Amino acid sequence: MADLDLHRLGWSAIFQQQLTLEDLEHSQPARVAGVTRTAIKLFSQQGEHLISLGGRWFQMDAEFRPCVGDWVLIDLDATVIERVLDRKSLIKRLRPTKDSEVQLIAANLDTMFLVSSCNDDFNLSRAERYLALAYETDIHVVVVLTKADLVDDPEEYAAQMRTLRSGLDVELVNALDSTTLDGVRAWCGPGQTVGLLGSSGVGKSTLVNSLMGTQVQLTKTIREEDGKGRHTTTDRSLHMLPEGGFLLDSPGMRELQIADAQSGVAEMFDDIENLIRMCRFSDCGHNTEPGCAVIKALENGQLDERRLSNYFKLQREERYNSETIAQRHARARNFGKMVRQHKPKKPRV
């Protein structure tokens, strides 16, 4: 890869102001383009590098390790990663197979393409989950509805998505037809980093290939028996667009457990939060209490029952997942202690 301009890579004042004079003399900034178990692929002004990830990084919590999209400082010889610069945004989830371990998805995004398709994958509750994560870190979201050519009325799908939040940007595309992608390309200008998130089989890899103008990701068809997708992308990676922006593709996620997203959930469901503040009682349970604004909104059709149910579900999930392992263990120990204290003592023989 030829020499690159830092600003084309997404460099901005947010990162520049983190550097000291010593940093400028003895190190150089680089953008993380890919992460494997033991190495990091980087882009810098000198081009592309592959640097081994030393053991000290694995002694840190996952949130402190380099992530795709991160800016890092490396030595002038491009052999050692010295530190990760503070991020302006971060998408993360709880790893499905490990209790309370965070998995980093993407860092320093300017825009998130929430990719869904006009078929059996279309799911409003799942979209709300992704949107809450994006709003938590102040990332602009564009919903990209693919396979618009396969349904009779694609605008109906777009209309349903727009009910989730006022002003939500929605693009209808056929990822195989580049003439339908002008609206999507508008978000991919020089220096911009756009992340694609969504389930397997919704057309993310096809969308990447069409925007890149060449096949950089393998693609597969969905399963005919259930309309579900199959994983094609196996690693998160940055791709430089001909226009100068970056696309970050990621494997489809069947499960997206949210954590540390209290404000994101509140912003996603600000209509419900406003209703709750109008309830007569501050501790209203929104079941049978008199003067409940939430119940009234359900009865007059102002609020959808699916949306309210998902709001409560994500609230519970966020609270639970945001607890640390230590807090959970402490709660378990306190409960065990209470049980032992109230357990009847056996009479002495």
Q: Residues near 328 by Cβ (< 8 Å), separated by ≥ 6?
A: 100
* pLDDT at residue 67, as a whole number: 93
Q: Give the position of tokens 């791709």.
A: 239
The answer to whether the beta carbons of residues 182 and 233 sit under 8 Å apart is no
Question: Model-level pTM?
Answer: 0.82
Rounded to the nearest 10°, the torsion over CA 307, 309, 90, 230 is: -90
CA distance to 161, 164, 273, per residue, from 167 (Å): 11, 9, 18
The CATH architecture one would assign to domain 104-249 is: 3-Layer(aba) Sandwich (3.40)
Backbone angles phi, psi at 194, to 5 degrees: -115, 130
The answer to whether the beta carbons of residues 159 and 77 sit under 8 Å apart is no
* pLDDT at residue 231, as a whole number: 43
* pLDDT at residue 296, as a whole number: 94
* pLDDT at residue 337, as a whole number: 63
DSSP string covering 155-183, please?
A: HHHHHHHHTTSTT-EEEE--TT-GGG-HH
Structure tokens at 14: 């947010």
Rounded to whole angstroms, the Cα distance separating 38 from 66 reads 11
Rounded to whole angstroms, the Cα distance separating 251 from 148 reads 22
- Per DSSP, the three-state class of 343 is coil
* pLDDT at residue 227, as a whole number: 47
Rounded to whole angstroms, the Cα distance separating 144 from 78 reads 37
Rounded to whole angstroms, the Cα distance separating 105 from 258 reads 12
Amino acid in position 69: G
Burial class (CB in 10 A: 0-12, 13-18, 19+), 314: buried
pLDDT means per 10 residues in the chain (349 residues)? 77 96 94 89 92 84 90 95 95 73 89 92 93 91 94 95 94 92 92 90 88 68 46 67 85 74 93 94 89 94 95 92 66 63 56
The answer to whether the beta carbons of residues 16 and 50 sit under 8 Å apart is no
Rounded to whole angstroms, the Cα distance separating 116 from 130 reads 11
Which CATH fold would you assign to the domain 13-88?
OB fold (Dihydrolipoamide Acetyltransferase, E2P) (2.40.50)
Backbone angles phi, psi at 125, to 5 degrees: -65, -40
Helices vs strands, H then E, count in the chain: 11, 13
Domain boundaries, the chain: 13-88, 104-249, 262-339
Q: Count CA atoms closer than 13 A to 323's CA, side-chain side.
A: 14
Which CATH fold would you assign to the domain 262-339?
Ribonucleotide Reductase Protein R1; domain 1 (1.10.40)
* pLDDT at residue 256, as a whole number: 78
Q: Give the position of tokens 């564009």.
A: 142
Beta bridge partners of 113: 142, 196
